[in-house]
Amino acid sequence: MVCPNCKRKDIGKIGVNQYYCWNCFIELSIQKGKLALHQVEADGSLTSLDDLFEESDLAIDLDAEAQ
């Protein structure tokens, strides 16, 4: 998996369908074949970053991920 924000592969799994980019420090989750991106705030809350990306950037090929 490549981070849609920084385009790097420094992605770690933190839960079921939840990932974290160690390069740009955002949380990614897969929901209905689409990525949801969030910035982790200092208090631990999440702020959505989805509006900063095109739909095509957030689409994910579930068949490719399973391989």
- Quote the pTM value: 0.76
Q: Residue 67: its pLDDT value, please?
A: 41
Task: DSSP letter for 3, please.
Answer: -
Q: Residue 64: its pLDDT value, please?
A: 46
**Per-residue pLDDT for 66 more than 70?**
no
How does pLDDT run across 19-63, given as a tens digit for each residue? Answer: 999 999 999 999 888 999 999 899 989 999 988 988 888 887 654
**Residue 27, exposed/middle/buried by CB under 10 A (0-12, 13-18, 19+)?**
middle
